[in-house]
């Protein structure tokens, strides 16, 4: 085992912290700026493994578990608790009741150090829905805090008993192998759970054990190679792959090499004054940046321009400086922030500060805990908004597909379960948009509907969806089962999907990766797959209705309208639904044209365009509500009322289609196509 490492300050590591936190900030501000910026978190884990192991080994026989955990507590908790409290307080004026309720729950999880478990059960870190979770980033703090629970025990046990280098090395290899296996089976679990991040911490620890044995001459080359690996990962990898996975070797290896090389001349670059300042406040900046970004975007609703994005970056840095000076350093050390900041605020001027900081922190934490609990238990303090809007806020609104019980895959009977008159309704969540309305129509007409729907799965024979580059076997199985069931008879089939929304996520079921296609090739693949699907359904011998995508409001309409202080008149003004018919045609016109062209090749196949029910030419926005009820649950998924409105709009034509043995080739039941081909609106 090498001799104990020096406790000397490493400015190069502070510089690496600066790079890590700025990478995360850039990714969260605008992913296109730095597609792999989220890898800054992987850098933090490697750095923590190196520094925490060094801290433990430096103390050798004098290591105290109590002192270690007390120091970690004062290092992390005061700034975390303050950030959580400020976020919950600020969100009172911004968030809808349902989202505010979820914030209260996530705040409690973050205070307990288990937010990685909470968010694993809630959402995908890279999903757009993350933009309504201001504390999502605390998942990584949960991972780090859980790492602190077992790592000191392991290191202390290993010293004098085992070969620490071999232990850390084999631990890193085993954890990495486990991570790469699970990344394909359950990428969310691998992303959020500490055991599958251990290889990153262990890599830093392994470096500590060997760096004294390594020759100094290669340091500079190793450091710049590490920097190149980090830069490559930031640019090359994006959020469309399972993570960590094998690709995490770039940020992990790059950080290890940069730490090794930072002890040489590279340290002069990493240790420049700007990097040192940002590195010193990196923890505070990591804490505050995401709540600042999320709450502003939530309030603003519309996409941000460059000036606003830059303003958020500066606001995040300013808030981090304040948190570092006023909270983080005084509570951690009982003194003002380090040189350069101490003149701004010197907490030592207060008498008995060391005696007061514990009760002050306890009082503040209890206030934060009480506020978070109240927000969660009350359902997001719905009294802040009008009663109608509180009842119809995100999370409270229905989804038309929920008439079928299920989490992701829905299979149920619509209408009259005893009827021998059968209709299949198959597709992704846009098929679910029809379920509630069709259930009512089928019951009235004595029809038994078989609803089969899978969120995010486009039902085209022989295809499947890929999630983060990994094949979604459940999607492929559901597609095959649905077509196999329908092939056994000649009952009408309604096939619906968001056809323009799967480029880069779809491919042949036999493939190992999604197709990377330009727009023309993508729609060519969809066209061929749709023709194969209709052939498998024996489309010439039964009625088939191809339903185009539902209209898109452009933003999360229900969330927009349910914010505190929003005037319901904005519903008519279009602020909460900026996309009109022309914008919807621009988005989905290519897909709609493809459906029309394919339908024209088959007898008995018709098309229906839901946009015709909600949107009209020359009107600023599509219809959002009627009879005091919202039609949209988010940007494009219909509520029960929206589904009823849609199906009622087409009642007569649907019944005529169901009653006729074979509609004309490519008959259009839903008005003019989205491409505006001149067909008259019915």
Same domain for 413 and 359, yes or no, is no
φ, ψ of residue 126 to 5 degrees: the values are -100, 10
Rounded distance, CA 564 to CA 363, Å?
A: 29
Q: Which residue has the higher pLDDT, 292 or 668?
A: 292
Encode pLDDT of 616-653 as tens digits. 876 767 777 777 677 888 888 898 989 999 999 999 88
Decide if 628 is inside a domain: no
Decide if 542 is inside a domain: yes
Same domain for 363 and 479, yes or no, is no
Find the mean pLDDT for residues 470-489: 89
Same domain for 372 and 422, yes or no, is no
pLDDT category at 681 given cuts 50, 70, 90 is very low
Structure tokens at 114: 């288990």
- What residues pair up with 450 in beta bridges, in sequence order? 413, 424
How many other CB atoms are there within 10 angstroms of residue 628's CB atom?
8
pLDDT category at 557 given cuts 50, 70, 90 is confident
Rounded distance, CA 509 to CA 476, Å?
A: 6
**Which of 378, 409, 426 is the C-terminal boundary of a domain?**
378
Find the mean pLDDT for residues 434-446: 94
* Cα 35 versus chain centre, distance: 14
Same domain for 267 and 338, yes or no, is yes
Same domain for 314 and 437, yes or no, is no
Same domain for 278 and 189, yes or no, is yes
**Cβ atoms of 311 and 297 closer than 8 Å:** no
Encode pLDDT of 8-24 as tens digits. 778 999 999 999 999 99
Decide if 391 is inside a domain: no
Same domain for 309 and 439, yes or no, is no
- DSSP string over 16-45: HHHHHHHHHHHHHH-TTT-TTGGGHHHHHH
Q: Is the predicted pLDDT of residue 282 greater than 60, yes or no?
A: yes
Domain that holds residue 242: 11-378
- What residues pair up with 544 in beta bridges, in sequence order? 493, 605
For the chain, report the end-to-end CA distance as a whole number of angstroms: 82
Q: Classify the phi-psi angles of 264: left when phi > 0, otherwise alpha if psi is within -120 to 50, otherwise beta.
A: beta
- What residues pair up with 493 in beta bridges, in sequence order? 424, 544
Tokens 């727009």 correspond to: 519
Q: Classify the phi-psi angles of 280: left when phi > 0, otherwise alpha if psi is within -120 to 50, otherwise beta.
A: alpha
**Which of 378, 408, 430 is the C-terminal boundary of a domain?**
378
Structure tokens at 357: 């900081």
φ, ψ of residue 424 to 5 degrees: the values are -95, 135
Same domain for 467 and 527, yes or no, is yes
Same domain for 25 and 132, yes or no, is yes
Total domains in the chain come to: 2
Q: Is the dihedral of CA 625, 627, 633, 639 positive or negative?
A: negative
pLDDT category at 268 given cuts 50, 70, 90 is confident
Structure tokens at 240: 């469309």
CATH code of the domain containing 488: 3.40.50.1110
How many other CB atoms are there within 10 angstroms of residue 453's CB atom?
28
Task: Give the pLDDT of residue 28.
Answer: 96
Structure tokens at 290: 């995401």
Same domain for 87 and 217, yes or no, is yes
């Amino acid at each position: 085992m090498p001799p104990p490492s020096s406790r000397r300050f490493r400015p190069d590591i502070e510089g690496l912290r600066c790079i890590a936190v700025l990478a995360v900030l850039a990714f969260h501000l605008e992913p296109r700026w730095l597609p792999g910026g989220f890898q800054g978190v992987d850098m933090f884990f490697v750095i923590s493994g190196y520094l925490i192991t060094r801290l433990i080994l430096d103390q050798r026989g004098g290591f105290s578990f109590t002192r270690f955990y007390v120091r970690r507590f004062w290092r992390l908790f005061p700034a975390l608790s303050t950030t959580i409290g400020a976020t919950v307080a600020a969100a009172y004026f911004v968030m809808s009741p349902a989202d505010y309720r979820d914030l209260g729950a996530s705040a409690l999880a973050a205070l307990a150090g288990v937010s990685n478990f909470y968010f694993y059960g809630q959402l995908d870190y890279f999903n757009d829905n993350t933009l309504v979770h201001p504390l999502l980033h605390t998942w990584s703090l949960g991972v780090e805090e859980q790492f602190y629970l077992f790592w000191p025990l392991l290191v202390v046990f290993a010293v004098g008993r085992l070969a620490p280098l071999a232990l850390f090395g084999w631990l890193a290899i085993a954890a990495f192998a486990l991570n790469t296996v699970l990344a394909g089976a359950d990428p969310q679990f691998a992303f959020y759970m500490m055991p599958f991040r251990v290889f990153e911490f262990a890599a830093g620890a392994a470096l500590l054990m060997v760096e004294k044995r390594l020759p100094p001459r290669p340091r500079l080359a190793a450091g710049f190679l590490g920097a190149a690996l980090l830069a490559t990962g930031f640019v090359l990898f994006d959020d469309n792959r399972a993570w960590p996975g094998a690709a995490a070797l770039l940020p992990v290896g790059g950080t290890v090499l940069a730490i090794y090389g930072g002890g040489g001349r590279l340290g002069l670059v990493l240790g420049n004054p700007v990097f040192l300042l940002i590195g010193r406040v990196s923890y505070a900046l990591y804490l505050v940046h995401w709540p600042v970004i999320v709450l502003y975007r939530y309030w603003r609703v519309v996409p941000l321009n460059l000036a606003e994005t830059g303003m958020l970056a500066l606001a995040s840095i300013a808030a981090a400086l304040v948190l570092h000076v006023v909270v983080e350093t005084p509570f951690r050390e009982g003194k003002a922030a380090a040189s350069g900041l101490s003149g701004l605020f010197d907490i030592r001027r207060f008498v008995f500060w060391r005696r007061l900081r514990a009760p002050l922190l306890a009082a503040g934490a209890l206030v934060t805990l009480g506020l978070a609990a109240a927000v969660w238990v009350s359902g997001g303090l719905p009294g802040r908004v009008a009663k109608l809007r509180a009842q119809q806020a995100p999370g409270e609104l229905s989804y038309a597909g929920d008439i079928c019980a299920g989490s992701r895959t829905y299979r149920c009977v619509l209408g009259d379960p005893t009827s021998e008159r059968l209709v299949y309704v198959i597709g992704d969540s846009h098929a679910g948009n029809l379920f509630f309305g069709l259930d009512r129509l089928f019951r009235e007409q004595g029809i038994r509907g078989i609803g089969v729907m899978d969120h995010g799965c486009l039902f085209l024979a022989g295809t499947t969806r890929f999630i983060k580059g990994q094949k979604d076997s459940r999607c492929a199985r559901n597609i095959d089962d649905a077509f196999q069931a329908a092939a056994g008879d000649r009952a009408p089939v309604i096939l619906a999907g968001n056809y323009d929304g799967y480029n880069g996520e779809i491919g042949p079921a036999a493939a190992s990766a999604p197709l990377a296609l330009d727009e023309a090739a993508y729609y060519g693949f969809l066209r061929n797959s749709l023709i194969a699907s209709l052939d498998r359904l024996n489309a010439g011998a039964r009625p088939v209705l191809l339903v185009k995508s539902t209209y898109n409001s452009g933003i999360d309409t229900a969330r927009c309208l349910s914010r505190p202080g929003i005037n319901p008149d904005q519903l008519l003004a279009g602020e909460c639904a900026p996309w009109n018919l022309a914008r919807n045609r621009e988005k989905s016109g290519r897909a709609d044209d493809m459906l029309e062209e394919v339908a024209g090749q088959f007898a008995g196949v018709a098309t229906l365009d839901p946009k015709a029910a909600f949107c009209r030419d020359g009107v600023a926005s599509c219809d959002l509500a009627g009879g005091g009820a919202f039609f949209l649950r988010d940007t494009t998924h219909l509520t029960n009322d929206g589904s009823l409105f849609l199906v009622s709009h087409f009642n007569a034509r649907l019944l005529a289609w169901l009653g006729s043995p074979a509609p004309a080739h490519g008959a259009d039941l839903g008005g003019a196509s989205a491409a505006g081909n001149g067909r008259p609106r019915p």
